[in-house]
Structure 1
Amino acid sequence: MKKIGLLFLLLTLLIPVSGQAKEQVKKEKAVLPLPTSAQLNWQNAELVAVFHYDLHVFDGKKYNQAYNRTTPISDINIFNPEQLDTDQWIRSVKEAGVKIAILTATHETGFALYQSDVNPYCMKALKWRDGKGDIVRDFVNSCRKYGVQPGIYIGIRWNSFLGVYDFMMPKDGTKFQENRQAFYNKMCEGMTEELMSRYGDLSIVWYDGGGHGPELGGADILPIVEKYQKNIIFYHNSQRADIRWGGSESGTVSYPCWATFPFPYSHSKNQDIIFKDNFRLLKTGDPNGKYYMPAMSDAPLRGYNGRHEWFWEPEDEAHIFPLENLMKMYLGSVGRNSTLILGVTPDDRGLLPDADVKRLKEFGQEIKRRYDTPLGSVEGEGKRLQMKLPAETKICALAIAEDIRLGERVRSYKVEGKVKGKWVTLATGSCIGHKRLEEITPVEVSAVRLRINESLDQPVITDFSVYAY
């Protein structure tokens, strides 16, 4: 009886402890926000191109954003890309390693690059191709032809043709203004439905500057996107944001750049927090944030030497970023847990200019040269990974990647190299996430190791590699 009583006592003590342990594990895992399949796809893409195309590409003038937001184009039929070739567009960005390509279906003029039934200011109104052209259709078809995922940018914040500024018709307190706003909201919802339903699965929809939700007097776009596109990156409005702007248009983010955020949308609400300290929260994210929302880094290819051109202009080739600058951009975006969006713009012929095509190809080749063939690689679970090299080998760069399907677990790490029999520190950091790329002072090592100093759960490293270039 004593043995039975003792056994019963042990069981009663063990069962609650086991249950508590399981519950504690659940709680620990619950605090790690996990990416959706669309967010995983977005981060795995690493490189994205956004094509800017609009009426003012054909006016022969320098692009002036403030002017174009408020001044209608006097003649819609200046739009005449006689050599339009969207296959050439997509081939060119694919050479750079781009996995997702986005097209501005509408931008600041309000002109729609497709056959809209709700927006009369569209390709139906052109003489070009007898009013039957559909560049969105051509673009999506070219993406699928070359294995690049298509996305669409919908600019509803500005519309110089209708006089819309910052989502709103001019406010004068009259019924006329109220009716015009209702018409515009309905048109934006209609364009969203057309673009989300006609072109198959899309990887991303991008509303420039966000989109005022109905609670702010704007269009109710989110339910329409969610009806037709179940696995899309939605960027963004006051109701939902799947990614966030990285705080600048430099093509880089600061370090660390966590993929988590304290609230589920990035603009329109919580602006006091977001705009504080020069967008600091957007730039760094929040390692303790409850929502998964990775940062994107965007910059125009023609943004060098004081220029910042999203749209083609004549005689502007000198402002294409040099290859060295693009590689720094790559390290400061993809190498810091962010997806790089590079702005490219077709010219008035309907082609990407030769100089842009050349630089995109060079960019892709240089990425491959540096990172396609590591000197050594290892992966695994736990707080320490180590690899031996065949001999004393000079290295100058390293890559680390977490299995972000499990969330961002690592909070602090150190990389060490064995130099003449002694371990020396090569790099330290905090955030790893999807990818951490870092250049180090060139050094000869016989082995390298990654030590995770702090993590929220068991670290799962999918790649730890070293390079020489």
Structure 2
Amino acid sequence: MKNKIHFVVIRLLMIALMMRISFAQAQILPKPNAQQLAWQKAELGVLFHYDLHVFDPSKYAQSANRITPVADYNIFNPGSLDVEQWVRSAKDAGAKFAIITATHETGFALFQSNVNPYSLKALKWKDGKADIVKDFVEACRKYGLKPGIYLGIRWNSFLGVHDFIVDGTGEMQKKRQQYYNAMVEGMVKEICTNYGDLFEIWFDGGASGPEKGAPDVLPIVKKYQPNCLFYHNDQLAEARWGGSESGKVSYPCWSTFTYPSTGSGESTYKGISANNFELLKHGDVNGKYWMPAMADAPLRGYNGRHEWFWEPNDEQHIFPLDDLLDIYYKSVGRNSTLILGLTPDNRGLLPEADVKRLKEFGAEIKSRFENPIAVTSGSKKVLQLNLSKATTIKQFVIQEEIADGQRIRSFSIEYFSNGKWEKAFNGFSVGNKFIHLLEKPITATKVRLVINVAVGAFQITEFGIY
């Protein structure tokens, strides 16, 4: 009897200890800030690439573009510019936010800048009074998309800047570097103060920092746009690149990460660049920092092409609908935010073929997920859906509440057919959204989600079958 009591006491103590450990783990789990949470829940955005070389008949080559100034910036002359048409097309695709390249690698600015003379102010077009960033932000607000800004400051072919450093030597280089840094910081302030609340500011290739002689942009963004997602510099990344420009991330994909930033170029941590960026693709289940993944790809990325900027006669390289759907399932459906690159042309319009494909894509996603067969939610380890009759099922959707961190570590999806339970899928990461598309549809009368391992209390906001 004593041995039995002793065993029970030890067992209770062990359970209590495990509960304390689980509670402690839950207390220290990384959690998203408000802008990260909004960015993940948006799920799909677009990035419009526009710059001087869209109007240059020669083929775009990034390596040359970074070091070769455009001979005549007055080639920028879109005769039918309609930024609202761009934004409407993004909305048709189901995008919740849109970003524009306010500056890219030429250094030319698509807004009215008082600190950068190499901007729309310098053009004959519209008498130098146009502000495409302003038009873009207003169009986003008109059509219900959240506006974001892309600023390329790492390269500037006009001013001879490579990897943030102005070309040259001696005192002249030092003075020109000071000018460049002040100009960039001034542009960031203009962007942050002249266009209202922004959803995201994207510094392509990172933004580095003053400790390496580069412009100091993080304090400016945090001061004037505290609710804007910051992506990114050597000090902070509120999101991370998903490791490729395929539009897909690997599974499992965790929203947590090993480091507080991802660095830029040569400054990246060795652990990030190792094994073909494996850490970026998966994240770190035990990471101390909340840093959700971005999956990005150009719409014109099919069949060996990878076009972020418009090229004439390139419509055959728009991703087919089936490929776009595969990208969606392997990005949004794997707990990452998908950003599609779109290419307005030299008329100032998104080409008709691109518009058509975006509309098809949005309609197909809506048709697949608008009307679930059955859906439930809750915090139990087993969530079951009982169907009134044998039903054909093609896909499952799971979402967990991530405001308090990503808590689910392992789960199973099971279905009841022919008098017994069968496994449909064994998984790990859920996060904002997990979608499992079955290779072959199944027929079932009951379906259940089983949470095998979780850190602390969890909440399933949706378990749905479609």
Amino acid at match of 1:375: I
Instruction: Indicate the residue corresponding to 1:451 in structure 2.
Output: 450
- Alignment of 1:144 with 2:135, yes or no, is no
Compared CA separation, residues 141 and 456, structure 1 to 2 (3 A): same
Shift of 1:166: 1.3
Three-state SS of the structure 1 residue aligned to 2:155 is coil
8 Å contact 1:71–1:160 — kept in the other structure? yes
Instruction: Indicate the residue corresponding to 1:424 in structure 2.
Output: 422
Instruction: Indicate the residue corresponding to 1:181 in structure 2.
Output: 177
Three-state SS of the structure 1 residue aligned to 2:367 is helix
8 Å contact 2:298–2:306 — kept in the other structure? yes
8 Å contact 2:208–2:263 — kept in the other structure? no
8 Å contact 2:298–2:308 — kept in the other structure? yes
Instruction: Indicate the residue corresponding to 1:206 in structure 2.
Output: 202
- Alignment of 1:219 with 2:215, yes or no, is yes
- Alignment of 1:102 with 2:102, yes or no, is no
- Alignment of 1:154 with 2:160, yes or no, is no
State the TM-score, normalized to the length of structure 1.
0.94
Equivalent positions of 1:84-99 (< 5 A) are 84-99=81-96
Alpha-carbon separation, structure 2, partners of 1:76 and 1:315? 23
- Alignment of 1:132 with 2:100, yes or no, is no
Alpha-carbon separation, structure 1, partners of 2:363 and 2:21? 48
8 Å contact 1:385–1:451 — kept in the other structure? yes
Three-state SS of the structure 1 residue aligned to 2:161 is coil
Three-state SS of the structure 2 residue aligned to 1:111 is coil
Of the three residues 319, 335, 352, the one matched with 1:354 is: 352
Alpha-carbon separation, structure 2, partners of 1:432 and 1:20? 27
Deviations 1:69-127 (A, max 9, x none): 11111011100011111111100110000001000000010000001011100000000
Alpha-carbon separation, structure 2, partners of 1:69 and 1:39? 31
Shift of 1:267: 1.4
Deviations 1:36-59 (A, max 9, x none): 111111011111000000000001
Alpha-carbon separation, structure 1, partners of 2:129 and 2:365? 40
Equivalent positions of 1:402-421 (< 5 A) are 402-421=400-419
Three-state SS of the structure 2 residue aligned to 1:70 is coil
Alpha-carbon separation, structure 2, partners of 1:133 and 1:181? 29
Amino acid at match of 1:442: P
8 Å contact 2:113–2:119 — kept in the other structure? yes
Amino acid at match of 1:453: N
Instruction: Indicate the residue corresponding to 1:381 in structure 2.
Output: 379
- Alignment of 1:462 with 2:458, yes or no, is no
Question: Kindly, what percent of the aligned residue pairs are identical?
Answer: 57
Three-state SS of the structure 2 residue aligned to 1:97 is coil
Instruction: Indicate the residue corresponding to 1:8 in structure 2.
Output: none
Instruction: Indicate the residue corresponding to 2:229 in structure 1.
Output: 233
Alpha-carbon separation, structure 1, partners of 2:412 and 2:144? 38
Shift of 1:403: 0.4
Amino acid at match of 2:364: E
Three-state SS of the structure 2 residue aligned to 1:179 is helix
Alpha-carbon separation, structure 2, partners of 1:55 and 1:119? 16
Amino acid at match of 2:83: T
Of the three residues 163, 188, 191, the one matched with 1:192 is: 188
Amino acid at match of 1:310: W
Alpha-carbon separation, structure 2, partners of 1:460 and 1:312? 44
Alpha-carbon separation, structure 1, partners of 2:453 and 2:120? 56
Deviations 1:411-447 (A, max 9, x none): 0000000011210000110000000001113110001
- Alignment of 1:33 with 2:40, yes or no, is no
- Alignment of 1:392 with 2:390, yes or no, is yes
List runs of 5+ in structure 2 lacking aligned partners.
Answer: 1-15
Shift of 1:150: 0.2
Alpha-carbon separation, structure 2, partners of 1:228 and 1:265? 21
Compared CA separation, residues 425 and 23, structure 1 to 2 (3 A): closer
Amino acid at match of 2:409: R
Amino acid at match of 1:283: K
Three-state SS of the structure 1 residue aligned to 2:250 is coil
Alpha-carbon separation, structure 2, partners of 1:125 and 1:26? 60
Deviations 1:252-271 (A, max 9, x none): 00000100011211114552
Equivalent positions of 1:58-69 (< 5 A) are 58-69=55-66
Shift of 1:226: 0.8
Instruction: Indicate the residue corresponding to 2:301 in structure 1.
Output: 303
Alpha-carbon separation, structure 2, partners of 1:343 and 1:32? 33
4+ runs deviating over 3 angstroms: 19-26
Of the three residues 111, 123, 127, the one matched with 2:108 is: 111
8 Å contact 1:61–1:313 — kept in the other structure? no
Deviations 1:354-389 (A, max 9, x none): 000000000000001111111111100021100111
- Alignment of 1:74 with 2:68, yes or no, is no
Deviations 1:176-229 (A, max 9, x none): 111111111111101100001100000000000001100111001011111110
Shift of 1:31: 2.2
- Alignment of 1:244 with 2:240, yes or no, is yes
Compared CA separation, residues 25 and 466, structure 1 to 2 (3 A): closer
Instruction: Indicate the residue corresponding to 1:312 in structure 2.
Output: 310
Instruction: Indicate the residue corresponding to 1:341 in structure 2.
Output: 339
Shift of 1:61: 2.2
Amino acid at match of 2:122: A
Amino acid at match of 2:49: H
Instruction: Indicate the residue corresponding to 1:291 in structure 2.
Output: 289
Three-state SS of the structure 1 residue aligned to 2:77 is coil
- Alignment of 1:401 with 2:387, yes or no, is no
8 Å contact 1:267–1:274 — kept in the other structure? no
Three-state SS of the structure 2 residue aligned to 1:404 is coil
Instruction: Indicate the residue corresponding to 1:46 in structure 2.
Output: 43
Instruction: Indicate the residue corresponding to 2:117 in structure 1.
Output: 120
Shift of 1:65: 0.7
Shift of 1:28: 2.8
Three-state SS of the structure 1 residue aligned to 2:376 is strand
